[in-house]
Structure 1
């Protein structure tokens, strides 16, 4: 079985004074503090969530 592809995502911005939807999207990605990093499965749904909050996260190169 092939290894699942993953993305490493780091939160770079604060959700303060942002719409509740964006705050909820960060929570859905498992991020809630600036500087926190998560390794997530590379799926279209995750890519869409990252795109929605792209101004507050960055994809970390490995």
Structure 2
């Protein structure tokens, strides 16, 4: 693959009290519990989701 980069995305804050669209973004990233980390491909779609909920997640590039 040309794009072997991945992102480690960790849910740092609870989406309770956030906008419903932001909750769906967190769910779309595959995050459920605070502290949970997922590894995702570094694509524009994933970047968009992360940017939308940047105040809820921590991101590490690899």
Tell me the TM-score normalised to structure 1 length.
0.90
Aligned position for 1:21: 21
Matches within 5 A, 1:1-62: 1-2=1-2, 4-60=4-60
Report the aligned-residue RMSD.
1.5
How many angstroms apart in 1 are the aligned matches of 2:42 and 2:7? 6
- Following superposition, the deviation at residue 4 of structure 1 comes to 1.6
What are the Cα deviations for residues 15-53 of structure 1, in whole angstroms up to 9, with x where unaligned? 101111011000000001110000000000100000000
Unaligned runs of 5+ in 1: none
Aligned-residue offset at 1:61: 5.5
Q: Which runs of 4+ in 1 moved over 4 A?
A: none
TM-score (norm 2): 0.90
Give ranges in structure 2 of 5+ residues lacking alignment: none
